[in-house]
Amino acid sequence: MADDNRQRCAGPSCHRVIEVKPTGRPALYCGDNCRQAARRGRVREIEAARQLAERLAAAQATMQRLFRPLEEAYREVAELAGEVFGTAADPGRDPDALGKVLAEFAWAAERLQRYALDYQDADNQARTLAQVKAASEHP
């Protein structure tokens, strides 16, 4: 029964025993330092959660912004691939035509690669941040 009048301090890394007073609101902390340290810890957690949510929203916005240009670059590469084939198979073609079409194709393929890599980076970042967020919400 001696433990009925004792409890541990709720301060971070402090587990001092504090006496429970018979009247009034029970104390959670052994003193002002522990109370303030706990408050600062809560503020840090809230700020970290806010920053995580901002980074996740930014990654998702980047994905949305890149989707249409990625799709357009894909279509352009597909069209130019057909044009390369048609130009290469045309017996009456201009001698410089194939080189021009291949140069356009290479440029479009490079652009598609940049969009695809940027989109993939944003997607990977969004997935990682979503996992971190889920883990922090359900410890």
CB count within 10 Å of CB 101 equals 19
pTM (predicted TM-score): 0.70
- Quote the CA–CA distance of 59 and 116 in Å, as a whole number: 14
Q: Which residue has the higher pLDDT, 95 or 32?
A: 32
pLDDT of the residue at 19 = 85
pLDDT in tens, 30-49: 899 999 999 999 999 999 99
- Quote the CA–CA distance of 136 and 49 in Å, as a whole number: 8
Residue 67 reports pLDDT greater than 60: yes
Helix 32-89 / helix 97-137 crossing angle, nearest 10 deg? 160
- CATH fold of 59-137, please? Helix Hairpins (1.10.287)
Residue ranges covered by each domain of the chain: 59-137
The mean per-residue pLDDT over the stretch 78-102 comes to 91
Residue 86 reports pLDDT greater than 50: yes
Q: Strand runs (DSSP E) across the chain, as ranges?
A: 6-8, 17-19
